[in-house]
Chains A and B, each alone.
Chain A
Amino acid sequence: MSDVKSIRSYLKIFKQLGGLIVPLSLVILVGTAILLQPSFLSINNVQDILTQAAPLALVVLGQAFVILVRGLDLSVASLMASAAVLATAFNAASDAMIPVIFLVTIVASAGVGLINGLLVAKRNVSPFLATLAMMIVLQGIRFYYTQGAPSGSLPEGFRVLGAGRLAGIPVNMLVFFFFFCILGWLLHKSSFGRKIYITGGNPKSANLVGINADRVTITCYVICSVMAGIAGLFLVGFVGTVDNWVGRSYEIDAVVACVLGGIMLTGGKGTLWGAATGALILILIFNIVIILGLPVQAQLIIKGIIIIFVAGLFSRSTQH
């Protein structure tokens, strides 16, 4: 009995901490990492972690928008790989082509997001199925185009974008920060952001107060797909080679990061700040697994345990 009581009191502490769970777990993780490996905070390692985290964090920013309007986007990983394959299709050598590649990718990704959004908002298809189907379709088109083995090359500049550093700060982290500011302003400061929260809270009442809920939902899907497309280009710059599975499992990781960061799958609750922290937490966990000298596969097990545990904690602390 006393066990149950002590668990209850722990839960109570968590409830009181509320919004502090995310930053607190971040501090605990960093603390553990430093204890395990004193060189954890060395500039090199921090730079490495940030470089690894940036592509995932870019995807998470978009995924957060979709989850906030009660959606889910499972097509992001497939879209990332498709963007990478699309980039090699230019077979460009000069860095002057980079803006063109980005522009084409963004337009194509926006198209994908538009289809996802239309299916979900206008046809009332469940987001899970709409984006699942989109994932399979993109995968099929990509493999058919590459016939299983991608060829073609990327301009040298991609390497700089994906893995380069500017005054010691990873370039892709700077790009992430740029998007974080823009999207953060959009979500938390602009009137459109309020519309997103209202739509996510209750689409019907959003319609009643004169918000075009369908349009808000579709916009969120477009934002998510565009972010995924951009993240794909940065990830391929980081990895250095294109294959058909660039970004594999990022769709799951992005959802997990959002959940870890306190964004509710039921929509309408959570912050972009939380989502970004969630991405960082996930990458830190992966990093700690490596520091501990565990096999890479242990990342999967630990990820699974953390998903269930943290999601349970959040649903408990908000339910009552």
Chain B
Amino acid sequence: MAYSKSRYLVRRFQLDPSLIIVILLLSIVVISGFVLSDRFGTTRNFMNVLEQSSGLGFASIGQAMVVIVGGIDLSIGAVVTASTIFMAAVVDLHPGLMIPMIFGTLLFGAMIGFCNGYLTIKTGVHPLVVTLGTASILNGSVLIYTLQPTGGVPYWFEEFAYGRIWNVPISGLVMLSCFALTWLFLRYFQAGRAFYAVGESPEAARLSGIQSSRVILLAYSASGFFAALAGVYFVSRTGVGDPRIGDPITLASITPVILGGLILGGGKGNVLGVLLGVILISLLGNLLNYMNISTFIQWVIQGVIIIIAVSVYVDKGEKL
């Protein structure tokens, strides 16, 4: 009975079975939050979490797109760092260029992503190695330019990170709409459907008339674009370019992707699951902070959650 009911739910809401675990974990966190802390379950707190999760959210969208086409992007953190420096340094010299520089930074990120994709396709080297290489080059260049936070942006730009519309954070709204647009794109557009085909099997996709290399280029460019968007968010939040800010983002961006039911090796998954993953990680961190649990234990919990999630999902034979 219970079995058929869950089957019904899965079919009725087109629920990916792999999403069940993230929904389960999310409900555990929310329920224990309401029980354990009286400050957790307030609108104010939820809005704060939404605002703080935006950076991770942007980075995860890009990572998700690359993972769907069967790759992985380990340069996301480096792109985040480089774009914060690029933006803050240029705007510091020419404050008038604030608005154009937002688009300039996004373009900059997309271009680096494009290079990643191009190198992956042209050299045939594993994306892990290619993106590691570009990350190393970017980090080295940034650290030669500066060793400490540098540059600055006009004060009003913090509105992007901290501003509210009807009490909803602007950055959170931007993140949610990015997720929605990506979801629509991947689900209802021909080019988006091609992402899954290429992830499943690039060769089969090529034979059925999809230009695999274009899809892969698009995925990596999108990854760079969203990493740069995360960079713009961090500049807005901190007001400076920080040569170390992206370091934890690379690996952090992979966790929600995995929790959301995407599989390394590609071809499967739903970006809305990734959004749930981002919310889960952020709410969990928030709850553990309220419970006064040390950051170090939070790391352990995060690692254990990854292990639980990946050992419950049945992975595709192909491994990374």
Evaluate contact between B320 and A128: CB separation under 8 angstroms: yes
A231 part of interface (Cβ distance < 8 Å): no
Evaluate contact between A130 and B307: CB separation under 8 angstroms: yes
- Given contacts A132-B254, A133-B304, A307-B133, is CB(A315)–CB(B143) below 8 Å? no
Interface of B is mostly: helix
How far is it, in angstroms, between the C-alpha of A266 and the C-alpha of B304 when the chains are bound? 27
Evaluate contact between B136 and A316: CB separation under 8 angstroms: no
Query: What is the CB-to-nearest-CB distance from A215 to chain B, in angstroms, rounded to a whole number?
Result: 18
Evaluate contact between B126 and A265: CB separation under 8 angstroms: yes
Evaluate contact between A311 and B136: CB separation under 8 angstroms: no
A23 part of interface (Cβ distance < 8 Å): no
Measured between beta carbons, the chain A residues less than 8 angstroms from B155 are: none
How far is it, in angstroms, between the C-alpha of A162 and the C-alpha of B32 when the chains are bound? 49
Please give me the residue from chain A that is nearest to B74 by CB atom: A252
Measured between beta carbons, the chain B residues less than 8 angstroms from A143 are: 295-296, 299
Query: What is the CB-to-nearest-CB distance from B305 to chain A, in angstroms, rounded to a whole number?
Result: 8
- For chain B, residues 263 to 319, give those with C-beta under 8 angstroms from any C-beta of chain A: 264-265, 294-304, 306-307, 310-311, 314-315, 317, 319
One digit per residue, 1 when the CB lies within 8 angstroms of any chain B CB and 0 when it does not, for chain A 193-212 equals 00000000000000000000
B81 part of interface (Cβ distance < 8 Å): no
- Given contacts A133-B303, A265-B128, A311-B130, is CB(A126)–CB(B139) below 8 Å? no
Evaluate contact between A308 and B140: CB separation under 8 angstroms: no
Evaluate contact between A119 and B300: CB separation under 8 angstroms: no
Please give me the residue from chain B that is nearest to A313 by CB atom: B123
How far is it, in angstroms, between the C-alpha of A311 and the C-alpha of B129 when the chains are bound? 8
- Given contacts A130-B310, A304-B140, is CB(A144)–CB(B297) below 8 Å? yes
Of A36-44, A151-159, A222-230, A291-299, which binds chain B? A291-299
B168 part of interface (Cβ distance < 8 Å): no
Q: How many residues of B contact A (CB 8 A)?
A: 47
Query: What is the CB-to-nearest-CB distance from A85 to chain B, in angstroms, rounded to a whole number?
Result: 12
- Given contacts A132-B254, A297-B140, A315-B123, is CB(A119)–CB(B307) below 8 Å? yes
Evaluate contact between A126 and B125: CB separation under 8 angstroms: no
How far is it, in angstroms, between the C-alpha of A129 and the C-alpha of B311 when the chains are bound? 10
Query: What is the CB-to-nearest-CB distance from B114 to chain A, in angstroms, rounded to a whole number?
Result: 15
How far is it, in angstroms, between the C-alpha of A71 and the C-alpha of B162 when the chains are bound? 43
Query: What is the CB-to-nearest-CB distance from B141 to chain A, in angstroms, rounded to a whole number?
Result: 6
A134 part of interface (Cβ distance < 8 Å): yes
- Given contacts A124-B314, A144-B297, A304-B135, is CB(A129)–CB(B258) below 8 Å? yes
B139 contact from A72, A125, A300, A315, Cβ within 8 A: A300
Evaluate contact between B311 and A137: CB separation under 8 angstroms: no
Evaluate contact between B136 and A304: CB separation under 8 angstroms: yes
Query: What is the CB-to-nearest-CB distance from B239 to chain A, in angstroms, rounded to a whole number?
Result: 24
- For chain B, residues 112 to 142, give those with C-beta under 8 angstroms from any C-beta of chain A: 119, 122-126, 128-130, 132-141
Evaluate contact between A305 and B133: CB separation under 8 angstroms: yes
How far is it, in angstroms, between the C-alpha of A124 and the C-alpha of B314 when the chains are bound? 7
Please give me the residue from chain A that is nearest to B299 by CB atom: A140
Query: What is the CB-to-nearest-CB distance from A72 to chain B, in angstroms, rounded to a whole number?
Result: 8
How far is it, in angstroms, between the C-alpha of A308 and the C-alpha of B128 when the chains are bound? 10
How far is it, in angstroms, between the C-alpha of A141 and the C-alpha of B296 when the chains are bound? 7
Evaluate contact between A136 and B320: CB separation under 8 angstroms: no
A6 part of interface (Cβ distance < 8 Å): no
- Give 6 new A-B contacts, CB below 8 A, not counting A126-B264, A300-B140, A303-B133: A72-B128, A134-B303, A136-B303, A141-B300, A256-B132, A300-B139
User: Can you sample 19 A-B contacts with CB below 8 Å?
Assistant: A124-B317, A125-B311, A127-B319, A128-B72, A128-B320, A129-B258, A132-B254, A133-B310, A140-B296, A140-B303, A141-B296, A141-B300, A300-B143, A304-B132, A305-B137, A308-B133, A311-B123, A311-B130, A312-B122
What 3 A-B pairs have minimum CB-CB distances, sorted nearest first?
A: A300-B140, A140-B299, A304-B136
